[in-house]
Chain A
Amino acid sequence: MIEKNGVPSVLLTALTAMAKVAGANRIVASGLIPHTVGDPTRSPADEFIWRKGQVQKALNAAATPIEEAQVFADW
């Protein structure tokens, strides 16, 4: 609905297929369901660097002109 209102909106989610069905346009595959932008298996410092990378990817998606729904892959 945020995109519908004209504001670019990036969905970070582990469940990209669900996001597509729900009608999201800019989708970034990220993390696991219980911690979309977290990775408790890393050290806190590593986890922060990883998260910053995921957020950077999402920002890039917001700045990418698209014609139709797109999944920006994580793997």
Chain B
Amino acid sequence: MVRITHYINQFFAGIGGEDKADAPFEIREGAVGPGRAIEMELGNDGEIVQTLVCGDNSFHADPDANIAAVIAAVAESKPDLLIAGPAFNAGRYGLACAAVATAVTEQLGIPAVTGLFPEAPAVDVYQSRTVMVPTGDSAGSMKDAVEAVVKVGLRLAGGDALRPAVEDGRIPMGYRRACVTDVPVARRATEMLLAKLGGNSFVSEVALPELAEPIPPAAAVVDLSQATIALVTEGGLVPEDNPDRIESSSATKWARYPISQLEKNENPRFKSIHAGYDSQWVDADPDRMVPLDALSALAADGVIGNVHEYFYATSGTGTTVSHSERMGDEIAKQLISDGVHAVLVTST
């Protein structure tokens, strides 16, 4: 028998509608409102031991305090599962349900599930952190919503790991994992091709990206002869003992090194730790990846003002987009604070 704590708002608790949205947090014994439908669906598999109620406005007036109250109540009753809502397309209620479910999972390690309309505002905010099943947009779909919430909830309460979103009947959390499958790659590829050739429907196993928002180009350098130019590379060029421990693939770190050191290229010598290209030519002459000799010559000729005193390096192979964006942003902020006017980036 799975013991469940249920979270609902003032409306579903029967306190009242919008005029009662400031109803304070309270704890009730047993099932209330939709909790009874949940118990019907559970049959002998579980029971609601406790219902937590909070008004929609009241919750958002002080979410931290209300979440703390939820956590205290759940920590004391130690249920096997928390169900929040379902909240359908509700804005404030949906956000409260998702926040409560997230907090209980993350802080207490107790599985939690909520039900939301896929376009409800809470989905975007909490999708990656909590288990959500899709529902209709109003309480008219309560029966189906309860069935879906209970089905996923019981599996989680039983200690089962999440399965792929489509198999679980969940709103995807947004991450991907490799799963063992009975259908070989070659058969999947052939079936998909035959479907495509026959004009039949097929489902690509990875969806193509929506095109990224283009980044508006930065304003051009007005006067190169006065400009400070910096060199940046993802070619993994670092001192040979790799003092900053930049990873040779899937890098999460970047570092900067004085160009005076690179110019000498002895004690330390520079070499590439990048695991994605053959670095023999760059190791023999680092200018082939970080063109310091050429840029210095152009500075001496007066084409540019001067060369920024550091070059920046990371290793760009298997590096995730999120780490790349973070590192790029960090490097950009550093360059701006150092008064750099333009940057030349070399990429393998």
Interface residues of A (CB under 8 A from B): 1-15, 19, 23-26, 30-31, 33-38, 40, 48, 51-52, 54-56, 58-59, 62-69
Contact = CB atoms under 8 A, between A and B. Distances in A.
Contact of B332 (A5, A40, A56): A5
A34 B348 CA distance: 6
Given A37-B291, A54-B294, A19 B217 contact: no
Contact of A62 (B220, B336, B347): B220
Contacts of B281: 34-35, 38, 40
A1 B91 CA distance: 34
Contacts of B232: 2, 9
Nearest to B348: A33
Interface residues of B, number: 53
B interface majority secondary structure: mixed
Given A15-B347, A34-B277, A51-B291, 6 more contacts: A6-B336, A34-B348, A37-B346, A55-B291, A62-B224, A62-B342
Counting chain B CB atoms within 10 Å of each CB, which of A2, A13, A33 scores highest? A2
11 contacts: A4-B328, A7-B340, A9-B232, A10-B342, A12-B346, A14-B348, A25-B218, A37-B288, A55-B291, A55-B295, A62-B342
B203 interface: no
A8 B227 CA distance: 11
Given A59-B224, A59-B229, A7 B332 contact: yes
Contacts of B259: none
